[in-house]
Amino acid sequence: MLKLNRLTATRITSTTAALESLAETLGADTVVMRIAPDEYLFIPELAQPEAILEFDPYAIILQDSSWFGGELAADESADLLEIHCEWEPPAERPVFAQGAVAEIPLKMWFTAEKTLFVLHAPYAHDFEERVS
């Protein structure tokens, strides 16, 4: 069963080149989700988000706690998505994907071992009810 918890993240709006340069400097424990061509979400929140200013002095940096998320093992998430997802999840891992699951907009980070489900806070309760 998927249990969602509030996530703290850093949302940065900047040039694509600056965002990609920053993402390359981060460790494997940081999930990087491109949510728009000029906007990335970093989970967990970055310890030094001002590092983006080296690449783009006009970047907009926000600490963002408006997200909920939870993880499932890869086999459990495959079962959940088979039932509640109308689109084919990506086979390549690790990879970021987004789309509706149980008719709720989600962002997902897939690895070989697990899937991180991320969604806006107002949808958390409905999503948990629909997939339980």
pLDDT in tens, 29-48: 899 999 999 999 999 999 99
Mean pLDDT of 8-20: 96
Are 56 and 101 contained in the same domain? no
Helix (H) or strand (E) holding 109: strand 104-110
Domain count, the chain: 2
Contact 64, 10 (CB under 8 A): yes
Domain housing 106: 68-131
**Cα–Cα distance between 107 and 93 in angstroms, integer?**
15
What pLDDT band is residue 8 in, cutting at 50, 70 and 90? very high
**Cα–Cα distance between 132 and 124 in angstroms, integer?**
12
| Residue ending a domain, choose from 48, 65, 82 | 65
What pLDDT band is residue 3 in, cutting at 50, 70 and 90? very high
Are 38 and 73 contained in the same domain? no
Contact 78, 89 (CB under 8 A): yes
Q: Would you state the pLDDT for residue 5?
A: 97
The strand ranges marked E within the chain are: 5-13, 31-36, 39-43, 60-73, 95-101, 104-110, 114-120
Are 75 and 125 contained in the same domain? yes
> In terms of DSSP H, where are the helices of 10-115?
16-24, 74-84
Are 57 and 97 contained in the same domain? no
What pLDDT band is residue 28 in, cutting at 50, 70 and 90? confident
Are 59 and 84 contained in the same domain? no
What pLDDT band is residue 86 in, cutting at 50, 70 and 90? very high
In the structure encoding, which two tokens stand for residue 89, read together? Answer: 């999840």
Contact 60, 13 (CB under 8 A): yes
Q: What is the CATH number of the domain that holds 9?
A: 3.30.70
Are 95 and 54 contained in the same domain? no
What pLDDT band is residue 105 in, cutting at 50, 70 and 90? very high
| Residue ending a domain, choose from 50, 65, 80 | 65
Q: Would you state the pLDDT for residue 88?
A: 94
Q: Would you state the pLDDT for residue 22?
A: 97
What pLDDT band is residue 1 in, cutting at 50, 70 and 90? confident
Q: Would you state the pLDDT for residue 113?
A: 97
